[in-house]
Amino acid sequence: MDPEKGLKFSGFSNGAPRISALPTGPNFWRIDWFGDIAYPDRSNRRKQPSVFVHLSRVNDERFRNDPSVLLSPDCTAPAQFQKRTWISIGTLPLLRVGDIWRDGQLDGRPDYELEEFKNIQIDARTTTLIKAGLNIDEAGFLLPLAEHPWHLQCTQSYCAMVNLPDGKRLIIPCMELIRFYFGSSSNLLSKLFIPALDRKSLYSSASFDARSKHLFLQLAEKISGASAADIGRLHLSRLAWRAAAVVGSSLLKASVAQQPIHPQALFPFEGETTLIAAGKWLSFAGQPRATFLVYNLRSCEHPFPFRSLSYKITGGHTKPERPIEDSDQSQAQPMRASARDAQDQPLVERDASNNLAPRTRTYRIEPRFPDLAPKPIWKSRALSYTEWLKKQDRRRNTSSVREGAVGEPGSERRIRPVDLALLAQKDPISFSSAPEFLRPIVQVLNASQHINVELLTESEDDGWTIPISIVANVDGEIDSKLFIQTGEDFRLRRISVFALKHAEKQIYLVAIESTPVHIKSGSMIAFNSDDVLKTLRHATADFLNAPSSTVSIPSLLKAAFGI
């Protein structure tokens, strides 16, 4: 473990919505703990369970300049005066223990004591499920109230205790395990908390190539692509599926026993990993800094069981068959469009409307899983959907929807169904996010009104490209042409694949980052995940053999489609 690090306080602004259930007014409130699970108000909430969130008012406002004051029990009002509020479980992606909220909005995310636990072992021998109020053999409480009073009302909640090699302990509340490993979207979390967990509610089909270790997923309806990697691990790993299923089964067991419902949770893997976490060191039996209590996990290095992942979303939008034009005919018969959302739309604790189209709200967070950074993850999308959506917006004349809610719809109230999705990068749908080498190509394709253009490599990196395929020779050597030097470092070149269709003819187009851009095209009948992989490999081999290219996109389109 690294030595104690200095604390930081970072103001946080990722466009997170206002949460109506949180305290209003000018005071600062810190999330202290997550309590039990219930349906507290069946008249307003029948489709989504809620978690009892415990918050303390921050008394010492020096925390903005000196975050270390937040480690002292005196920094907040006494724990017996905590404010408790029910918040829908689908809101959990936005909620972390230790975060500071003000007037219902996220104000800051302190680092507290930020620690890196290197090469620790996670398995049945090192990891135990305990309750937060555990007193080991009368030797002392693992979480002493004198040092950490903020779990006072939740001593029956479950935590995972990991024995560290140096005799110390790492304690992670089960709700934090759930939030970190499965909190990529509201809809994924909601499936875990409504037993029993069913694979069909997450994905309708999957295929895995054992040789290339490429996984393809057809995600279930309403499941966000932000959760594709998490669901990929659930599909391929028995341990991950067990960890996800135990959440709902533990809720059901407690409910049948008529006990307060505190979820249990496990790590979705076994083996070695490195964890980075924010929290607080606590003493045990007179020994200082013996137990590290995790407020929130920041990073986990354990590998995912695939090398690349592609997915399709069920019920996604596609480009219209012909462009929408502002003609007299189109104005006389406008397209049907959903209502606008209010600019400052809060999340409320009610079931959303059965009659309003659901929306996905994406938010940027720091990368959680370093293993995913070099692994290509992509989906396909219609390139011109943004412009189509803008044209729809011009025709919307209904009043805006002022409130949103997570979870399944189940009311006639005017409340937008919302899925919160967490991404580690900016919104990929904007043209400005395209890499510089690709922008001239995208501009030409987007202006080709008579051609349907589909991007087959929408990624979580920049929205448009994935790393070029790694090709090695018989000696296992990787060609240096696959890399680009950036300063003193090297990185893989980026690559994009497009599907172009006009009338009954279809072609693919590959663009590889180089000067000039390397272009490869060919005919296609219908693409599936295996075809995309083959195209990527063939385009990489073609680039290595002839890295220079002078293909003109307009000339290519004219030759392929005669337009």
Q: Are strands 359-364 and 415-423 parallel, antiparallel or unpaired?
A: parallel
Tokens of 435: 């890499």
pLDDT at 472 over 60: yes
Please tell me whether residue 309 adopts helix, strand or coil conformation: strand
Say what angle helices 238-256 and 228-236 make with each other, to 10 degrees: 90
Burial group, residue 475, by CB count within 10 angstroms (0-12, 13-18, 19+): exposed
Does residue 283 sit in helix, strand or coil?
Answer: strand
Token pair of 140, please?
């002392």
User: What per-residue confidence (pLDDT) applies to 432?
Assistant: 60
Report residue 407: phi and psi, to 5°: 95, 175
pLDDT at residue 64, rounded to an integer: 85
- Condensed to tens digits (0 to 9), the pLDDT of residues 238-278 reads 999 999 999 999 999 999 999 999 999 999 999 999 999 99
Model pLDDT, residue 14: 53
CB 406 within 8 A of CB 88: yes
Query: Measuring CA to CA, which residue among 186, 176, 191, 182 is closest to residue 347?
Result: 186
More confident residue, 547 or 236: 236
Nearest to 34 by CA among 191, 130, 173, 186: 173
Q: What is the predicted pLDDT for the residue at 479? A: 86
Maximum alpha-carbon separation in the chain: 83
Give the per-residue pLDDT at 431. Answer: 58
Report the range of poorest mean pLDDT among 71-80, 111-120, 241-250, 473-482.
473-482
pLDDT tens-digit map of 368-410: 999 998 888 888 776 654 444 444 444 455 688 999 999 999 9
What is the three-class DSSP state of 243? Answer: helix
Specify the pLDDT at position 322. 34
Answer whether 529's CB lies under 8 Å from 212's CB.
no
- What confidence score (pLDDT) does residue 419 get? 95
**Residue 401 to residue 415: CA distance in whole angstroms:** 7
For the chain, the C-alpha Rg in angstroms (whole number) is 26
Classify strands 489-492 and 452-459 as parallel, antiparallel or unpaired.
unpaired
Tell me the C-alpha distance between 337 and 330, whole Å.
Answer: 13
Residue 168: is its pLDDT beyond 60? yes
Question: What is the per-residue pLDDT across 90-124, written as a single tens digit (0 to 9) for each?
Answer: 999 999 999 999 999 999 999 999 999 999 999 99
Cβ–Cβ under 8 Å, residues 500 and 468: no
Q: Which two tokens stand for residue 192?
A: 């875990």
* Chain position carrying tokens 């909601």: 190
Distance of CA 232 to the CA centre of its chain: 13
Nearest-angstrom CA–CA distance, 510 and 22: 49
Q: What is the DSSP string of 483-546?
A: EEEETTEEEEPEEEEEEEEETTEEEEEEEESSSSPEEEEEE-S---HHHHHHHHHHHHHHHHH-
Mean pLDDT of the chain: 86
Instruction: For residue 85, give the nearest of 130, 141, 143, 29 by alpha carbon.
Output: 29
Please give the sequence-ordered ranges of beta strands (E in DSSP) within 169-270, or none if there are none.
169-173, 203-209, 214-219
Residues 138-151: pLDDT tens digits? 888 999 999 999 99
pLDDT at 373: 84
- State both tokens at 1: 């473990």
For residues 326 and 332, give the distance between their C-alpha atoms in angstroms, rounded to a whole number. 10
The first and second tokens of residue 355, run together, are 């009659």
Contact 407, 351 (CB under 8 A): yes
Residue 492 has pLDDT above 80, yes or no: yes
pLDDT at 5: 42
pLDDT range class, residue 365, cuts 50, 70, 90: confident
